[in-house]
Chains A and B, each alone.
Chain A
């Protein structure tokens, strides 16, 4: 055992440091890759999620399935709930602000959440403008249904994108549609000649330099998770095989019969997404899945993915 103070002679000054840069904002999302982020509404659920191997939790008052069932205006959660969850777990804690509600975002930054989700699951606060995310130190994740929407959010400062899917349904079809849409549009950009990228930027309603970057690299400059309807280990593995960097699971875990077991199974299937033997084992004996709603049965005004633009 050595006294650390005695070794302090080797201490060296650091030249420059800066918080809230794109590197550190996007960097946290990089550390979440290959993982599962779980919606939790109590500290006890947060503990179950952490024990199951979640890489982060999303603290909120109602899971999307209940927001959908109960209706009304859905807002940022009570700061007491968010603080209690931050104090309970050692993994990163995310929380949702309404689209465009920059004051809810200021509160969440003050509470020191690790990521803010500017989310269509809550009722939008501004039907024209999203939050100017560049000005915040805390990083943001935003939903997108297509590449243009993703690039507009990145331009506003989003450090992570999640394909929206249709939250609170347990129906994975919209999640599949949106991740395929975003990645398919990236592949289409890669096939374009340089002189076609000007019009591509116009059609995507996204900045030309960012469109050129995507065409060159073949990927978004930020991490891309998927969300909205994932309820089983197979759903999570399907999203990973389609090219997602990781998975958000909202109502699918704590609206099921055995949340702890299902949560661990989804973590396992996400990590071993290309191994059918592991996914099969993870799928055994999980009890009741969330009942769910077929997206096709939802009237258009009840589709959350259409919020945001």
Chain B
């Protein structure tokens, strides 16, 4: 049966994830309202502006249903802003910025500096090398006890996994690398 993989589609780099999911033979669903969460086999929280996505999640009453779905085991891949949205703590939040608090990590936004420091890179992950872009990327500065580090870049933690949640600071979808999407799609047998 074809897997149905959602992409949170409030703001940010949504189209690239939809394209990768469809090219892997799965059905890609734009998630913009709570009802869109029904019947998903996985979800991507894309990159974008994390403070904007946070405000829109609450504005459209999507934060709580999304939190419940992921907490109930919906396989999840968060990229960049998506990693920030999943974290329990942000070092330097925008004023009033909240998170879903599902992944026991502390993240630092824009940890590599301004856009001129953004990098095109191949990242070694536990699943294999991933070609990706770091765009004003965050890093993980603290991990909870059971959180696995799956990738580092410049000696800093840029990928973590805990249970059904994978979060990365970089953008394989911009480079068209489907490795981590395949992991998400096949998370449920």
Contact = CB atoms under 8 A, between A and B. Distances in A.
B181 interface: no
A51 B142 CA distance: 27
Given A34-B48, A55-B52, A11 B118 contact: no
A31 B135 contact: yes
Contacts of B141: 4
Nearest to A93: B114
A109 interface: yes
A16 B121 contact: yes
Interface stretch (A178-186, A227-235, A267-275): A267-275
A90 B166 CA distance: 25
A33 interface: yes
Contacts of A115: 115
A54 interface: yes
Nearest to B94: A90
Interface in A120-170: 137-139
A12 interface: yes
A118 interface: no
B95 A15 contact: no
B11 A19 contact: no
B63 interface: no
Contacts of A113: 114-115
Given A12-B152, A30-B16, A35 B52 contact: yes
B49 A55 contact: yes
A28 B49 contact: no
Contact of A15 (B52, B80, B115, B129): B129
Contacts of B189: none
B155 interface: yes
A91 B51 contact: yes
A157 to B, nearest CB: 14
A50 interface: yes
Contacts of B144: 1-2
A20 interface: yes
Given A33-B48, A50-B95, A90-B51, A14 B123 contact: yes
Interface in B128-165: 129, 133-136, 141-145, 149, 152-155, 157
Given A112-B116, A272-B60, A24 B134 contact: yes
A7 interface: yes
A24 B133 contact: yes
A274 B142 CA distance: 40
B171 to A, nearest CB: 6
Most interface-central of A12, A34, A54 (chain B CB within 10 A): A34
B39 to A, nearest CB: 22
B175 A23 contact: yes
B124 A137 contact: no
A92 interface: yes
A115 to B, nearest CB: 7
Most interface-central of A31, A35, A55, A89 (chain B CB within 10 A): A31
A4 B48 CA distance: 27
A1 B141 CA distance: 12
Contact of B118 (A10, A28, A86): A28
A53 B60 CA distance: 13
A271 B10 contact: yes
A80 interface: no
Contacts of A112: 113-116
Contacts of A11: 152, 155
B120 A271 contact: no
B100 interface: no
Interface string A5-27: 00110111111111111011011
Interface string B92-136: 111110000000000001100111111111111000010001111
Contacts of A7: 149
Contact of B56 (A12, A53, A56, A89): A53
Given A35-B49, A56-B49, A18 B56 contact: no
A89 B11 CA distance: 19
B16 A92 contact: no
A27 B175 CA distance: 9
Interface string B40-61: 0000000111011001100110
5 contacts: A4-B143, A16-B121, A24-B118, A55-B11, A267-B55
Given A32-B48, A33-B13, 10 more contacts: A16-B122, A19-B119, A30-B12, A35-B52, A91-B49, A92-B49, A115-B115, A267-B56, A271-B59, A278-B60
